[in-house]
Structures are given as C-alpha cells and as structure tokens.
Amino acid sequence: MKSNRPKILHITRGTGKAGIERIIIAITKALSDRFDFGHLGLFGSGLVDEKFQEMGIETLCAEITEKKLIYYPLYFRSVNRLSKIISNFGADIVHLYHPPHQYWVGKAAHRAGAKLVLEACNANIYRREKLAAFVERKGMHLVDTGIAISKFVLAEYRDRFGVDPSKFTVIYNGTDTNLFKPPEKTERESIRRELHIPENALVIGGAGRLIARKGFEFLVEAFMNFCKIRSGAVLLIIGDGNEFENLKRLCKDMPSEKTVFTGYRKDVPELLRAIDIYVCPSIHEAFGLTLTEGMATGLACIASRTGGFIEIGTENEDCLFVPPGEIEPLEDAIEKLATDISLREKLGKAAREKIVREFSIEKMIARRAELYEELLAV
C-alpha cells in the first residue's frame, strides 16, 4: 500500500562513512514512522546506502563525476537528470548535506517540485575564496531553509560568504548516549585484550578520519615526547584516511607495542571504552561529533580550541583545551591528566552529564522533525 507520509530525500556525496552519514542513519531510524526517506548519492555509494538497504529504504545514485570548484558550471549539465530522479522518487523535501552543491541541486529540486534544506555541516576551506563566496551566495537563493550544525558554521556563512544568517537554524549534532557510554570494568579489560593493550596501560587515544585537518600528527608527536618522560603509555588511533600511512611512519622509531592503529572500525563506541585520555586535535572543526562521543563515553577529553569544539566543552569543567596545531601545549595537557586521576574522573563525569543534558540524539531528532514539519506547512 502506498504511504501518504511526506517523502524526504537525503542527498550526500554518497561515498562517505563519517559523522554526517551516522547522523543521517540515526534520523531516518527515529523518524521513519512520520516520513518516508530515501538516499541519493551524487558521486557514488557508501555507508548510508549499505545501512538503508538493510532497513529496506530506497537508495539511488546519480553517477555524476565530482569536479573541482573551478569546473563547477559543468554540474549544471546534470540538472535535468537529477530533477527526474528527485521527481520519480516523489520527494517533498530534498535534504542536501554538502555545500556548495546547493546551487545546481537546488535548481533540480525546485524543478521537481521539492523544497530544499541545506545542511551546512562543514567549515569549507576553499582555495578560490571569491569563487566559493559567489557559488555559496547564489546557491543560498534556492535554499528554503538551512541547518547550521554550530554557531561557528553560521558565522562562517555570514562573514565569509555574506549569507543572510536568518536563513539558518542552529541544530547541534546529537550523540546516542545509550551507545556511547562508560565501560564496565570487565568490558574495558576485554577490549584491551582484543587490541593487545596491557590492562594497566595509560591509553591515550583519538578517533576520526585520518586527514590533514584533523591534526592527528600533532597527537602522535605529543605522545612521542610524552613517552620520553613517562613509561607505560599506549597510543590508540581509531579510523582511516589518506594520512594513515604517514602517521604510522611517524611512529616507526617507537616500540610496536606502544602504538595501535585500528583502521576503519564499525565498533567505535566499544573501542573508545579502552581509552583513559581522549584527544581531539583538529586544526579546523565545524562541530565536533568525535568530541561529543568521547565525552558521552565519560572520558577525560583534550580538544583543540577551534570551531564547534568550544561550543561543546567548558574549560576545566568537562574538557581541557589547547591551541590547534601546537605540540607542546598538547603534551602538557596529556601530562596534566596522566598525573591526576581525580581530575580525569571529574572531567569524565561532568562530560558525560553535559552530553546527556545538552547534546543527546533525541534532542537533535526532535529539532529536525520540527523543522521538516514547519517547512511542509509553508
């Protein structure tokens, strides 16, 4: 029987497997009794398609070649084809997660009779700033409403691109606090055994995409310096990316048992429970889902003082902050937590409480459902 529920089509690049994709999956699971969802990958398929197919949800692929910003006008050749895909799906709302594609995707969505939600979910760093500003501004005229995942992102759109901030609603990404939670003692021991980490080791860890702007090289350097004055520590890095091999090379002179690189893992919530000190060393961060996940796990967290991170943590209450891209302050923060177990416990407890209170996935889903309903009512 055909459903009368409104139809919402998520549009992403398609190939990702990071925070955006996990948020899309969570929203869809939670709101599937109110809306019919689908996913369209512009440039390929990935984690969202895999999970949606398991859930029996329609997935589509536009099979478009991704282009550099200088060749942006070539995307308009695909507007008619994309419009037909959106129309055939029957979308009432197209939810696009990747600026600056709102310009040509917006044309296709409106041609298909759908409304466009733009999720500004990254702090784009463009080599061609003037061209980027032009594309972002032109595309915003086609956006019916926008979601900024942090006040930092909203300020970026206002200050760098001259976009009217009233077009956006700030909705923070939420974390599943039933999934990301402190470990039981036996569970922690089991995870460490699987990773070949000694039970009594001080585990300093980080998780995320291993790309340059995530700053993991600074964590590696700080850890190596820390190990010159402290024994019994292990570095655990969870994730993959184009910096994976470079980071392993940085550690080549360290004893192999001092570093663990897991690569891509689906069991990140469990792996985080092996960590004592959690580090988020990003150079740039639009929001910082990796920080909320570490805090929800009840870990003592160190984060770069940048972007959305400073909207999540509070210095010395539930988090320690360090300047982005600087090794010595990060090493000092690690040393501070390594030598003060009571401070680690205090920060971890307060961090968990804050995420449950202010950054839960339930709160995020309620705000997004409200936004969809308001847009459909217009």
State pLDDT tens for residues 227-277: 998 999 999 999 999 999 999 999 998 999 999 999 999 999 999 999 999
Average pLDDT, integer, range 210-219: 96
pLDDT of residue 160: 82
State pLDDT tens for residues 73-111: 999 999 999 999 999 999 999 999 988 899 999 999 999
Q: Looking at the predicted structure, is the pLDDT value of residue 125 above 70?
A: no
Q: Looking at the predicted structure, is the pLDDT value of residue 344 above 60?
A: yes
Average pLDDT, integer, range 355-376: 97
Common-topology check for domains 7-174+361-377 and 185-358: yes
Fold topology of 7-174+361-377: Rossmann fold (3.40.50)
Provide the pLDDT confidence category of residue 128 given band limits of 50, 70 and 90.
Answer: low
3-state secondary structure the chain: CCCCCCEEEEEECCCCCCHHHHHHHHHHHHHCCCCEEEEEECCCCCHHHHHHHHHCCEEEECCCCCCCHHHHHHHHHHHHHHHHHHHHHCCCEEEECCCCCHHHHHHHHHHCCCEEEEEECCCCCCCCHHHHHHHHHHHHCCCCEEEECCHHHHHHHHHCCCCCHHHEEECCCCECCCCCCCCCHHHHHHHHHHCCCCCCCEEEEEECCCCHHHCHHHHHHHHHHHHHHCCCEEEEEEECCCCHHHHHHHCCCCCHHHEEECECCCCHHHHHCCCCEEEECCCCCCCCHHHHHHHHCCCEEEEECCCCHHHHCCECCCEEEECCCCHHHHHHHHHHHHCCHHHHHHHHHHHHHHHHHHCEHHHHHHHHHHHHHHHHHC
How many whole angstroms separate alpha carbon 244 and alpha carbon 240?
6
Question: What are the residues whose beta carbons fall under 8 Å from the beta carbon of 214, sequence distance 6 or more?
Answer: 208, 241, 243, 281, 282, 283
**For the chain, domain boundaries:** 7-174+361-377, 185-358
Lowest mean pLDDT among 102-116, 140-154, 155-169, 278-292: 155-169
pLDDT of residue 1: 47
pLDDT of residue 156: 87
pLDDT of residue 123: 60
The three-class DSSP label of residue 241 is coil
Question: What is the CATH architecture assignment of 185-358?
Answer: 3-Layer(aba) Sandwich (3.40)
State pLDDT tens for residues 292-324: 999 999 999 999 999 999 999 999 999 999 999
State pLDDT tens for residues 192-204: 999 999 999 999 9
